[in-house]
Amino acid sequence: MATTSVTAAAATLSAMQALCTLEASHLSMWMFGLLLSLTVLGSSSAPTYPWRDPMTRERIMCQQCPPGTFVAQHCTKDRQTVCKPCPELHYTQYWNYLDECRYCNIICGEQEVEVHQCNATHNRVCQCQEGYYSNSEFCIRHSECPLGHGVVKPGTPFMNTKCEECPPGFFSDVSSSTKPCQEHQNCQQQGKLTNVPGNQFHDTRCTTCGMAKGNGTQEAGKEDCKQAVIDFVVYQNIPVRKLKRLQQLLEQHSTRKYSQGNRAAIQEKFRAYLLQLKEDHLELTKELLIALRAVKLHEIEEEVRKRFNLVSEI
């Protein structure tokens, strides 16, 4: 009976030892697999390329060289690839197995600026200078939005200016590649009268002409009325041909060239000239009425006389 118990205990112990050995074996295999995976993962961080060992003629896999370097010596069966840094004005941008680095061959052209210098890992980078954008490998000046249109997206080195027609209540009286449409001024908020309503091409023109005058404001009132007459005449819906003729009559002693372009452009230049002229032209209002009559703009002439109480003028 005792012998049977001892035999059973020995068998149990032997079975437990075998189980432990098996578990240890499984654990060792798991650890080996983990280490192998880590080794493969580590080696995969450097790309490889196929090569033939010059001594053994055996096919082997060589590690590539990282960006900024090139292959000085290809690998052998016993040694990995030897990499060296790129010399000045040369680069490699990616992992490679080149025998020499690439030359920085990009040269910035006309209307271009350098935004990234040549270095060991990158070629020189150029882009169009401010005010220009790239189009078919050329730098083109940003387009200007014409009168009556404003900038909604300023141009960049890669994109032209984006324009839009000024919506109601807004205007643009200049051709510009940077200015958006501006809101019309509110004459009432300034305590003034609206002389000329604004449109997409010009601002609302305000005036104090015709308003009650206090002490010492008579001369200032005359000047304001003179400007109000100019604004009122200039922004009337006058055909371009007659507007140019009116301009010629009032600028007959001027040496400057007559304004060209569409009506809005001519109006702005004509207004600027008349405002400059009124400073030393005491009879400008009278001359303006005579010119309106000569060009046969009788309705506008009569409207100016009534509106600004100039019935007694010639």
SS3 label, residue 36: helix
Task: Name the DSSP letter for residue 68.
Answer: T
The CATH number of residue 293's host domain is 1.10.533
CA distance 217 to 225: 12
Number of structural domains, the chain? 2
* Domain assignment present for 242: yes
Structure tokens at 49: 């390329």
Q: What number of other Cβ atoms are within 10 A of residue 37's Cβ? A: 10
In a domain, residue 146? The reply is no
Domain for residue 7, yes or no? no
Please indicate, yes or no, if residue 21 is contained in any of the structural domains. no
Q: Does residue 168 fall inside a structural domain?
A: no
Among 70, 102, 129, identify where a domain stops.
Answer: 129
Residue 238 CA to residue 15 CA, distance in Å, equals: 115
198/26 Cα distance (integer angstroms):
89
| 274 is a domain residue | yes
Using alpha carbons, select from 251, 208, 245, 229 the residue that is nearest to residue 304.
Answer: 229
Q: What is the pLDDT of residues 181-191, one digit of tens each?
A: 999 999 999 99
Asked whether residue 170 is domain-assigned, the answer is no
User: Which domain-ending residue is among 82, 110, 129?
Assistant: 129
Residue-wise pLDDT tens digits, 57-114? 999 999 999 999 999 999 999 999 999 999 999 999 999 999 999 999 999 999 999 9
- Give the CATH number of the domain where residue 45 resides: 2.10.50.10
pLDDT of residue 45: 79
Question: Are the beta carbons of 112 and 126 closer than 8 angstroms?
Answer: yes
Across 78-97, b (16+ Cβ under 10 Å) vs e yields eeebebeebeeebbbeeebb
- What's the domain range around 291? 204-307
Q: Is residue 29 part of a domain?
A: no
Pairwise CA distance, residues 229 & 168, whole Å: 25
The structure's pTM equals: 0.66
Taking only the tens place, the pLDDT of each residue in 24-70 is 333 333 333 333 333 333 445 789 999 999 888 999 999 999 999 99
Task: Tell me the per-residue pLDDT of 258-285, one tens digit each, with 9 for 90 and over.
Answer: 556 788 999 999 999 898 888 777 688 8
212 burial (CB, 10 Å; 0-12 / 13-18 / 19+) is: exposed
Q: Identify the domain boundary among 106, 129, 152.
A: 129
